[in-house]
Amino acid sequence: MGSGASYLKLSPGELKERVLQAQGHLKACRLCPRECGVDRSRQKGVCGAGDTAQVSSFGPHFGEERVLVGAWGSGTIFFAHCSLRCVFCQNYQLSLLGQGLPVTSEQLATMMLIIQDRYRCANVNLVTPTHYLPQILEAVLIASQRGLRIPLVYNCGGYERVEVLRLLEGIVDIYMPDLKYASPERACRYSQAADYFPKACLALKEMDRQVGGLKVNEVGIAERGLLIRHLLLPGGLEDTRRILEFIHAELSGGCLVNLMDQYYPAYKARDYQELSRRVRGEEFRAAVDYARQLGLRLAT
């Protein structure tokens, strides 16, 4: 991967202005659609985060999509806390219990450079980043002045505000959102976010506007674009169909869709009878068949 990362095309002054705009949210936080308005220097937001970023782990990850991994892995930085409260979260120790250590923006910038220079990863993959956007942007500013040049992956839950995503235009190269639910009832029951689908639809349209369909380089590694993940849930095939129809009708044809069948009853899922089993093979095959009928580009 060469020198084509988007943020390198911004002047330090423009990047600094984005940092300042994002930092304004730390006094009255509206980074996510919950818009809790909390002064995070004094108390934690609904997400559980204060004004200092917390990182659970960082380094090369080989379990991501093939187009992100390459020979040396995707350079993941796993952040603690999350704006969604998913009862089946497979990373609940991080996202819901807040497992992680506080880091400064300088330390975060150093992690990004280690990912690039020591581990030789294809990208910096920011996992659950939204609530730490001010700190991340400051780290990108610092790291880019120290030689960071690989693409940024914004790996999020899809529950985003368009106004906040606009701060990332020209900075993020690859958006990788989840698209979890179409049903407000399921979104409310499982993630305490009845407005998930309308917010996520607006967010994905904005991501698509910024980066379009997924583009890969000559060795098949993603450089820019939109990659959408959808984790099938037991009994959720109708939701899945509505989600695939939205992607087909509203987003660029080149967007890559990863239909994921690795659901298992994690965290509090066994408290919900309908979530207490794995996804059946016929459910997954029906989802894949429908995506192919729509002509969607599927991850392999």
Question: Does pTM surpass 0.95?
Answer: yes
Mean residue pLDDT of the chain comes to 97
202's tokens: 């607006």
Query: Given pLDDT bands bounded at 50, 70 and 90, which one contains residue 1?
Result: very low
Residues belonging to the chain: 300
- Can you identify the CATH homologous superfamily of domain 6-298? Aldolase class I (3.20.20.70)
Give residue limits of the domains in the chain: 6-298
55's tokens: 């990182």
Alpha helices in the chain (DSSP H): 12-23, 66-69, 92-95, 105-117, 133-145, 162-165, 184-191, 196-211, 237-250, 281-294
Phi-psi category of 75—alpha, beta or left, where left has phi over 0 and alpha has psi -120 to 50?
A: beta
Assess whether pLDDT exceeds 90 at residue 147.
yes
To the nearest whole percent, how much of the chain has pLDDT over 70? 99
Contact 234, 220 (CB under 8 A): no
Amino acid sitting at position 103: V
pLDDT digits (tens, 9 = 90+) for 204-213: 999 999 999 9
105's tokens: 């923006």
Assess whether pLDDT exceeds 90 at residue 169.
yes
Tell me how far apart the alpha carbons of residues 262 and 265 are, in angstroms, rounded to a whole number.
10
pLDDT digits (tens, 9 = 90+) for 13-68: 999 999 999 999 999 999 999 999 999 999 999 999 999 999 999 999 999 999 99
Which pLDDT value is given to residue 300? 84
| Vertex 113 angle, CA 24 and 60, to 5° | 105
pLDDT digits (tens, 9 = 90+) for 84-108: 999 999 999 999 999 999 999 999 9
Which pLDDT value is given to residue 196? 98
Alpha carbons within 13 angstroms on the beta-carbon side of residue 183 total 12
141's tokens: 């500013």
Pairing of strands 222-231, 256-260: parallel
Which pLDDT value is given to residue 207? 98
Contact 224, 181 (CB under 8 A): no
Which pLDDT value is given to residue 2? 45
For residues 205-224, average pLDDT: 97
34's tokens: 């919950």
By CB atoms closer than 10 A (0-12, 13-18, 19+), residue 93 is middle
Query: Given pLDDT bands bounded at 50, 70 and 90, which one contains residue 168?
Result: very high
Dihedral pair phi/psi, residue 158, rounded to 5°:
85, -15
